[in-house]
């Protein structure tokens, strides 16, 4: 299982427009084979900072997402709204508590 955490910071005044663009990824990503979780978060301390928590069955599934046309379109659309390059961390899941309601 592969976990990807991506951090994005909006430029001043673009936070809600960036959020809307990110929300548009939920539908297409849900249909991807091997995409197990895809969650968008906003920082409570920094209203202009967003985090994606993504879980994939394996590296091939993650690579499929990153190579998808909807991901390419998103990145092109959001680039002018970003304060800098996103920070991306790819993690190997080791152990944890399953999600509880």
Per domain, the residue ranges of the chain are 2-92
Section 77-87 average pLDDT: 96
Neighbours of 14 (CB within 10 A): 17
Token pair in block for residue 1: 């299982």
36-77 tens-digit pLDDT: 999 999 999 999 999 999 999 999 999 999 999 999 999 999
Output the pLDDT for position 100: 77
Q: For domain 2-92, is the CATH number 3.30.70.100?
A: yes
List the beta bridge partners of residue 37: 55
Output the pLDDT for position 98: 78
Distance, in Å, from the CA atom of 40 to the CA atom of 5, rounded to the nearest integer, reads 10
């Amino acid at each position: 299982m592969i976990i990807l955490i991506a951090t994005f910071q909006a430029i001043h005044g673009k936070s809600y427009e960036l959020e809307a663009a990110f929300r548009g990824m939920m539908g297409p990503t849900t249909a991807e084979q091997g995409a197990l979780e895809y969650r968008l978060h906003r920082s409570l301390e920094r209203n202009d900072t967003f985090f994606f928590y993504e879980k994939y069955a394996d590296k091939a599934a993650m690579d499929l997402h990153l190579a998808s046309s909807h991901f390419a379109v998103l990145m092109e659309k959001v680039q002018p709204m970003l304060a800098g390059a996103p920070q991306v961390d790819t993690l190997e899941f080791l152990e944890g508590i399953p999600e509880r309601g």
